[in-house]
Structure 1
Amino acid sequence: MSQPDVSGTGSAERLGLKPGMIVMESGYDEDVDDTLRDRVVEVVGDENVVDEDTDEVVDVVLLWYRDGDGDLADVLVDSIAPLADDGYIWLLTPKRGRDNYVEPSDIAEAASIAGLSQTSIAAVGPDWGAARLVGRKSSGGKR
């Protein structure tokens, strides 16, 4: 009996992705959830998924991160640079019990150092969870 496909239809929508959005993917490796990646491409369009070397301003960063991938705060700061003013980061990490699991407290600390706030979490596949991170709003900031 096969396991239910929890990362199939609806996963990209749970991440708030819509057709035409520019999505930068970072941290890709052989262990990523290909079903989720395929669904992201289906929703936003193949031409709208760019890699971390892009010069484009992006709406969303999909950041695959595992314990041991370097300093998370530094990785998050690097991910902020290409984001549009109203853009956000989905930090994708292995679920509890999986290899290279990242503690929620480590995510919270790194996000705070990078000037980000966690607004929600989502289950996006059998092996990966996601935390939505946004820039902190400054009082009287730009529009």
Structure 2
Amino acid sequence: MEISDIDQEVSDFDWFAVGADGYILHFASAGGVLPTSVAASKEELALIAEHFNRLPETLQADKVQVIASIKQEKGVRYDSFLHYARRGLFSFDKTRLEARLDTFYQLIARPQHPLMLSDLPAEIAVILSKTRGHFSVAIMTKVDVSVIL
């Protein structure tokens, strides 16, 4: 089932993509617009989220200190971003939470041991491969998700 525009507007979805370098990315939508490939199937999104949530934690995630402290000052907790970083994902939050159409995200937490697309089971990798960014996340702290297909 497709995720409707209304559901996207009123919900905070955790969604996932793969960077050009093969690293796995986590995004918290904060009521923002989802890429078409993500919005196409609520079931596939749930399957991917379940897979990543079941992964064991790796070592303590590095925090991106400046961004994390800004979020904390605004009263936004970043536990969920660390949750995904501890499982090997680069974790991003929307830059302007109140702006539904804002497509810019900031890196909140980076993994010490990044998970690669090649590390995933085939079923998950096939689904995740539908949502690709054409940038190297290893050097990025901000991403415009409008370029994610």
Same-fold call, TM cutoff 0.5? no
Structure ranking higher in helix proportion: 2
Please report the TM-score for the alignment, with normalisation by the length of structure 2: 0.31
**Greater RCO structure (CA 8 Å; 6+ sep):** 2
Please report the TM-score for the alignment, with normalisation by the length of structure 1: 0.32
